[in-house]
Chain A
Amino acid sequence: MEEKNLICINCPLGCPLTVALEGGEVRTVAGNTCPRGDAYARKELTNPTRIVTSTVKVKGGKLAMASVKTAADIPKGKIFDCVRAIRDIELEAPVAIGEVVLADVCGTGVDIVATKNVPAKG
């Protein structure tokens, strides 16, 4: 039996959670004051995911950079690969919110989309 400690992020209470794992499976969650803590601990220890946000260069735009994000959350372990993949992108203005700037980032099946409108210069 393995034990892991984490802090619940659902509310300012920040319950210190103690999770008992067996063979990679969550057996028990303790320390939570509400069901949200239990659900958070299970997700966080079996399949932690995050939305990743960054910026990319824009050529010929009114602004130098456009912000981007993963259209959905991706596995936590792929965050750095994802950021490296985003780093090489250079877009041509105009850029529109929601535009796919990189499809299926790092084999996650998730697209990188623009989160900023950048009109062309002039």
Chain B
Amino acid sequence: MSVTLDIRLKRANKVYLEGETVAGVILLVCKEALQHHGISLSMEGVVNLQLSSKSVGVFEAFYNSVKPIQLISSNIEVAKAGKIPGGKTEIPFEFPLHTKGNKVLYETYHGVFVNIQYTLRCDMKRSLLAKDLSRSCEFIVHCQPQKSKVIPTPVNFTITPDTLQSREKNSLPKFLIRGHLDATNCVISLPLTGEVVVENSDVPIKSIELQLVRVETCGCAEGYARDATEIQNIQIAEGDVCHSLAIPIYMIFPRLFTCPTLETTNFKVVCGLGTAASN
């Protein structure tokens, strides 16, 4: 006898803001009537921290993972023990996204050392002979958009051999790259924009790439562990581009892997940008 259990959220994009209500249905499809010992649904929001093997030892990194921090948790009983008729059964549910106490609902984020994840989990208990069924489904939490309008502060930059922190400064060929970013504080839902101009370069350029980097900091027993990892790297110029012609910088932030800069007592995520031009 087959039965399938599924959770369907009302919103196709599964994105919810704090204070909103997560609504959906539990979908049960079975051919015949089904006996069960109760269906329950739980919602959970957890921050998982993982120590980097670079800052602490390998074994410590493996064993000493920091205890997860629970952000939100609630449980409801969807159905008491009983019978479900055969066919398709939809049981609607709603969870308000409210925190208890002074906890903050952070945005969903999947990083290397920091993971913030929200899940819905549905369990169906059954008799001894049949296995219990369970199904989980992730949903995404975004912060309330900022009320005050951010005034973009454009920034200009210039790259020459002298500005690089490199040991072989003298061996580098001469070049001058100028450019600007339209804002240093970006709205995460909007793309990062700007321009880069190759004013001159002694050797032909092979590629110009844009690197999005995050810095995750985890607090643990021995102090803080800080790690920078690349999120995304996209090429904005390929080959020897025309000199003194503005090349656009444009990057859409990968939503799951970036989050607004976040600082808490226990962990911290900062996103930064690097430009790499290879010759």
- Same complex for A and B? Answer no
